[in-house]
Structure 1
C-alpha cells in the first residue's frame, strides 16, 4: 500500500475535449467539477490506508501462526456520498472511452455497447469514488473499467450493473490489460447492488495491488480467473456466484475471507499463499484444488487457517485435492466437508485445534495427508497403515486372524491353509507392487526431501506453482 500524504490536490477543473487515439478512439475527459443537481447530502469521509497487521490465528502447543490479518478501514465500508458534490456520467451521452482525470466522486449510469471508463489521476494523492448505478458497460476490445493510476479507487454498487468484453484485448498503452475490470492500484468494491461480469476471454477482475470487497452480489463468468490480485485480497461480505475456467478467487499474497456466501465452480476455488477463512458459507466444486495455499511469494510460508465458516468442497475425478497446502494447515473452527479421491495434501504441518472435519462422509479428529501414501491411501509401515478404503496396509499375519474371522465368507477360491510355497507372512505387504492401495511401499526420505538414491520423491507437475 502507498502512504497518503498530508495534503491532497483540490484542483477541480472541467476539461472536456475530443482526442483521437489510434486504438481507443474519442475520449471524454471528466473532472469532479461537473456536478449533478440532486440534493442528497451524505458525505464521504477519509480514513487511514490499509495495513497488514493484527492477529490471524494460532494453533495450540508448538503450533504458531504469524500475524498476517488484513486491516479494513472505515472508508472501505463507506457507501454514502454527497451527490450534490459529485460528477454525473450518463453513458448514453458518451461515445467511446470516458477518462476521469481528477480526484472526486463520479456517478456512472446508463449503457454503452462499446466504451470504457479510464481512471488516470495522481497515484500518490488522489482517490476516486466511482458509483455504478444501474450501469452497463461493454468494451469490444479492452477493459470496461481501467484504473491506470490512482492512490485508491472505491467502486460502490447501486442497482444492477453489467460489465463485459467483446472477446479480445487490444493494447492501448504499456499495460497488458487482460480483464473486464483492470486496476493498477488499490481497489475496493462495496455497496448493496449487484455486479455481473462476462469475461469471454481472460479474467473478470484484476488488481495489481491490494483489493478489498465489503459487500455486493457478484455473478461472474470468466474464461480464466474470476478475481485475481497481486498483493492481497480481503473479503468481509458479499454473495459470489462464480464460474471460472481457472481460479475463482486468486491472490499471490494474502487472502482473508471474513464472511460471505460463495457458490463456486472452477478448476481451483480459492488460491493464495497465506489464506485465512474466518467465516462464510462455501460450496466449491473444483477439478484441480478446492482450496490451494500455494507458495506464490517468499514473504511468508504457504498457510491455510480456518477459524470458522461452513465449507463444502466437492472434487472431480483424477489427480485433485480438496485442500492443498505447500506449507501448513491450521483448523481452529468451522465445518469442512470434503468429498473426493484425494481430500487433503500438505507439505508442512497440519494442526486441528477445533472445528469439524468430514472426509468422504466420515468425521475425523485428525487431518489426513494424501501425499504420504500416494494415490489411494495413507502410508503403511512396520505397524501397518490404512489404505484409501480404510483397509489394513501394514503387516498381515494369517496365523493370527481376528476372533470373528469367518472363512465361509471368503472367496470360494481362497484357502488360507493352502498358501503359495513362496508366501512369507513376515514380508508383506511392503514388497507388493507400487500400484496396490495403501501398500506402504514409500521410499525413505531424508530432511532434504530426497531418497537414498538422491532422487526426489516430489512430482514436479504436482508441486509446481
Structure 2
C-alpha cells in the first residue's frame, strides 16, 4: 500500500538519527571502499504535491558517502548513506538497512550470475541515481533459488530512480525493474528489455521525467496491487516513454492517470488498461491489436469503471478485426483534448457516454457524437449539447 508522504520534519529527524553511523560494505572481501564526510553528487529530484517522491527533501550531506570499486564478490549495504559505485561485477548489490540509502551508478556493469543484479531487501527509501555522463548496465541471471525476487532490479521497499546518466536493464528471468511498494522514475535515460514485464510498481508506479524505452514480452509498465484499496495506481506526469509490449503496454489494477509527458506505444495487445482511466494532459499514441484504451474490471475493482478524457493529445491506431479504440466496460466521458482514431470501431461503452468538449477525428473525419459500437446496442450515443 502507498505510504503517506514523509514531511520535511520527519525526514530531517530520520537523517539526524542516522547521520552518526559509518557507511561500510558487508566485508573487505566484497569491495574497496573509501568513506568521506559528504557527497559531491547532489540529488537531481524535485518534489510536487501528488506525484513526486520524498527523495528531493533528503539532505544527503548529513549522511556519509562511500566510494566503492566493485568486484565479482558484489556488495552488501547495511548502513544508511550514499554509495558511489564504479567498475563491474558478476555478483549482486544487496541493500539491507533500516535507513535512507542512495546508490550512485557511475560507469557500472553488473551481470549477476545468481539472481537480481540490484536487490533491496530492506530500507526506508532507496534512491538509484545515474551519475552525470555515465553509462551503466545491469542484467540478472535467468534462474534463481528465490523466484519471488523477480526483477533484474528488485526492491521490497520504496524505490526512486533519478539522475542524468543512462541505464540499460536486461531482465532474463522475468521483469526488468520491480518495486514491491512505491516506485518513482524521476529522471535518467533508461532502456529495459525483459522476458516478462518491463517496469512494475506494486503499490504505485509514478513517472515524472526521464527518457524510458521498454521492450517487454509481457506488460510494458504497470502497477499490480489488486488486494489493497487505493493502491494499484499508475501515474505519468512527465518524461518520454516508448513501449513495445507483447501484452498490455500501460496497465494498472486500480487506476491510470496521465497528466503530462509523452507516451509512444509502438505495439501492444491492450494499449492502456485499468478499471479507471483518467487522461488530462500529455501526448499519447497507441498502437494496439485488441483495445486501445480499455476500462476493465480487476480482482479488486469490479464497479465504477470509467474512462475520462479532459485534455492532452491522444492518437489511437487499431488492428483489424473485433477491436475498439476506446472501450469502457462502464462510463465514458470526453470533455477536452484532441483525439485522433483510426479504427473500425471507435467507441464502445457499457454505461453512459458523454461528449462535452474536445476535438475528435475518426478515420479522417471530425465527429461530434459518440457512436457506441457495443454489441446489443448499449446506452446510445452522446453528443455535445
State the TM-score, normalized to the length of structure 2: 0.74
1:379-431 deviation digits (Å, cap 9, x = unpaired):
399xx99xxxxxxxxxxxxxxxxxxxxxxxxxxxxxxxxxxxxxxxxxxxxxx
CA distance in 2, matches of 1:77, 1:362: 46
CA distance in 2, matches of 1:352, 1:286: 28
Tell me if structure 2 keeps the 8 A contact 1:274–1:302.
Answer: no
Kindly state the Cα deviation for residue 42 of structure 1 after the two structures are TM-superposed: 4.6
Match of 1:97 in 2: 74
Which of 175, 185, 192 does residue 213 from structure 1 map onto? 185
Tell me if structure 2 keeps the 8 A contact 1:76–1:190.
Answer: no
Instruction: Note closer, same or farther for the CA distance 1:261–1:36 as it changes in structure 2 (3 Å cut).
Output: same
SS of alignment partner, residue 373 of structure 1: coil
Stretches of structure 1 that go unaligned for 5 or more consecutive residues are 20-26, 55-69, 386-465
Superposed structure 1 runs of 4+ greater than 6 Å apart: 43-47
CA distance in 2, matches of 1:338, 1:264: 19
Tell me if structure 1 keeps the 8 A contact 2:85–2:104.
Answer: yes
Counterparts of 1:231-250 in structure 2 under 5 Å? Answer: 231-250=203-222
1:261 aligns with 2:244: no
Counterparts of 1:40-51 in structure 2 under 5 Å? Answer: 40=40, 42=42
1:283 aligns with 2:280: no
**Size of the alignment, in residue pairs?**
339
Tell me if structure 2 keeps the 8 A contact 1:356–1:363.
Answer: yes
Instruction: Note closer, same or farther for the CA distance 1:254–1:358 as it changes in structure 2 (3 Å cut).
Output: farther
Tell me if structure 1 keeps the 8 A contact 2:24–2:77.
Answer: no
Tell me if structure 1 keeps the 8 A contact 2:360–2:367.
Answer: yes
Match of 1:135 in 2: 108
Instruction: Note closer, same or farther for the CA distance 1:359–1:46 as it changes in structure 2 (3 Å cut).
Output: closer
Counterparts of 1:324-343 in structure 2 under 5 Å? Answer: 324-343=327-346
Tell me if structure 2 keeps the 8 A contact 1:289–1:324.
Answer: no
Give the CA RMSD over aligned residues.
Answer: 3.7
Instruction: Note closer, same or farther for the CA distance 1:37–1:309 as it changes in structure 2 (3 Å cut).
Output: same
Which of 313, 316, 322 does residue 313 from structure 1 map onto? 316
Structure with the larger strand share:
2
Counterparts of 1:10-409 in structure 2 under 5 Å? Answer: 10=19, 12-13=21-22, 28=30, 34-36=34-36, 40=40, 42=42, 70-73=50-53, 75-77=54-56, 82=61, 85-91=64-70, 94-112=71-89, 114-122=90-98, 126-158=99-131, 159-171=134-146, 176-252=148-224, 253-266=232-245, 267-272=247-252, 273-294=254-275, 295-296=297-298, 297-298=300-301, 301-370=304-373, 372-373=374-375, 379=377
CA distance in 2, matches of 1:79, 1:10: 12
CA distance in 1, matches of 2:357, 2:141: 48
Tell me if structure 2 keeps the 8 A contact 1:14–1:34.
Answer: no
CA distance in 1, matches of 2:164, 2:303: 34
Stretches of structure 2 that go unaligned for 5 or more consecutive residues are 225-231, 276-296
Bigger Rg over Cα: 1
1:9 aligns with 2:7: no
State the TM-score, normalized to the length of structure 1: 0.63
Kindly state the Cα deviation for residue 345 of structure 1 after the two structures are TM-superposed: 4.0
CA distance in 2, matches of 1:192, 1:261: 14
Kindly state the Cα deviation for residue 138 of structure 1 after the two structures are TM-superposed: 1.4
